[in-house]
Amino acid sequence: MKRAQERHELLETLQTLSSSGSSHEERLKLVAKLFQSNLNIIEDCMLQVTHVCITQPHPEIQQHLSSFLHWLAGNSLMLALKLSWTIDAITDFFISSGMSDQIKKIHDRIETVAINQDRQLPAPWDRLVLAGAGRRAHAAPLTREDRPDADVVMRKEQRLKLYNDERAFVSFLTDLSNQLRFFPDRSKRKVELRKRLAEVNEHLASLRLVHPLCRSNDHVRWIVHIAVEECTVFSSRERAPYLIRYEVVVDDTATLADPSQSRLRQKDGSFKVSSASQDVYVPGADMDDSSSSSGEEAAGGSRSRSRSSRAGAAPPNEALQSAFGESAEERHARIRRESPWGAHPNWSMNSMIVKAGDDLRQEELALQLIYMFDRVWSEAGLTCRAHPYVALPTSSDSGLLEWWRTPTPWMELKRPVASRPSINSM
């Protein structure tokens, strides 16, 4: 209930800021209110926040709102990435509206404040916000990092690399989706997709990449290997959206607000077996049974337990598997067994859909409406629920979509009945 109320207040503040009836003093108060807003709620409404801050017609207020956007980027590296992608998605429109210089100034400074983690509130908001009751409890302190200068520089370098690597990776993925649609033979699309992703795998060790469909307060999910053979292109005549699956190491020592705080990943890019250990994980090497078992329990499931349960279980019904395909749990277990990263205690998997040739801002807005429907139903005491997935526009005609794991994939349900086994064969 509180989250829904905060979301409503933020949207109301943005609407009033963009209206022409507000006085200068009222707008200043609204800007101060933005600085006091919950970062998690702002992250939910990044599309609206960015639009209002950029389109503000009053020069002084617009300057304050630009400072607000940069302050957001300084508070969280993930917020900085999402802000940069959101601006990429609206740049073409604002350039055609004669606002190219304004957009460029905002965009160029995002990287700088994100790398430096510049959380300092700009004047006069430092006095107004810190004195108010609206100061967020989860926001990072404004004091200078109490670390040696060499450590501060190293962490800045790590944030710079992650910021640039992540943007380049997402750009590569969306460009690939756009290129695949020019293959008239759809079977060749999948071959080309896997070929290009295999090339990326060869360089992953030197890159710092994270699962992009996460929130700032989520634990870091470092991408360590793309499951190339599990990636596929969806059937589409005009576009070539595809599903990408990759293995990740879940880092419970850092959040996406600042992944450089990780105590699991070392500065050379390698991973420790655990944050409490000094042992470096070597992909493909056998791990000590005791450390592996305890780590897997912490991650949510032990592979030794899975092996024993499979040993005592009856063979799966081949007809059922032919009809409905491999379950997500079975796929993950299979990939983990075969992967050089599978023995890491914090191993997991993530998936997403990469789509080019479509404006995902429309989908993002529709999903926000679905979220509001769900809140209305919940507050009314109804039992029906709707859970919107994540849509992240990264340009005006491309973006990323959350992939929902379902017992029976939609593409399987659409298969012709004639191609399915009969009930008698089961």
Helix (H, G, I), strand (E, B) or coil at 385: coil
pLDDT for position 70: 94
Pairwise CA distance, residues 256 & 209, whole Å? 11
| Alpha carbons 232 and 244: distance in angstroms, whole number | 7
Q: Span 302-324, mean pLDDT?
A: 49
Band (pLDDT 50/70/90 cuts) for residue 130 is: low
For residue 423, name the pLDDT band (cuts at 50, 70, 90).
very low
Task: Give 338-362 pLDDT, tens digit per residue.
Answer: 999 999 999 999 999 999 999 999 9
**What pLDDT does 206 receive?**
94
Tens digit of each residue's pLDDT (9 = 90 or more) over 1-55: 677 788 889 999 999 998 888 888 999 999 999 999 999 999 989 989 999 998 8
7 backbone dihedrals φ, ψ, rounded to 5°: -65, -45
Determine the 3-state secondary structure of 97 from DSSP.
coil
Taking the C-alpha atoms of residue 205 and residue 67, their distance in angstroms, rounded to an integer, is: 36
Name 393's bridge partners: 399
> Is residue 301 predicted with pLDDT exceeding 50?
no
d(CA 374, CA 386) in angstroms, rounded, equals 5
Q: Phi-psi region for residue 19, left (φ > 0), alpha (ψ -120 to 50) or beta?
A: beta
Is the pLDDT assigned to residue 81 strictly greater than 80? yes
Confidence of residue 72 (pLDDT cuts 50, 70, 90): very high
In this model, does residue 132 exceed pLDDT 70? no
pTM of the model: 0.83
- Quickly tell me which residue has 């005609």 as its tokens: 397
Q: What is the mean pLDDT of the chain?
A: 83
- Range in 24-33, 126-135, 199-208, 316-325 with the lowest mean pLDDT: 126-135
**Element holding 26 (H helix, E strand):** helix 24-35
CB 33 within 8 Å of CB 13: yes
Position 296 scores a pLDDT of 38
Residue 271 DSSP symbol: B
Cα separation, 310 vs 71, whole angstroms: 52
> How far is it, in rounded angstroms, from Cα 316 to Cα 332?
16
Determine which of 110-114, 299-303, 404-408 has the lowest per-residue pLDDT on average: 299-303
Which one has a higher pLDDT value, 317 or 140? 317
Give the mean model confidence (pLDDT) for residues 377-390.
87
pLDDT one-digit tens code per residue, 205-214: 999 999 999 9
